[in-house]
Amino acid sequence: MKHFACGDVIPGCDATFTAPDEGGIFAQVGPHAAHAHGVTEVTPELQAAVRSLIRPA
């Protein structure tokens, strides 16, 4: 299992995500970023930042 905390990228956000793999994390983070933070495009830089902060659950 993998875990990601949105607050590691967006200070103050308390959303967390858990999934069996990195793809599952990104499947959850994309819609959250759009809805909660107005992020409509996941840039390669943002993707790299998220990827670097995904931890074993």
CA distance 18 to 25: 6
Cα(first)–Cα(last) distance of the chain, in Å?
5
Looking at residue 42, what is its pLDDT?
Answer: 84
One digit per residue, the tens of pLDDT, for the chain of length 57 reads 999 999 999 999 999 999 999 999 999 999 999 999 999 888 999 999 999 999 999
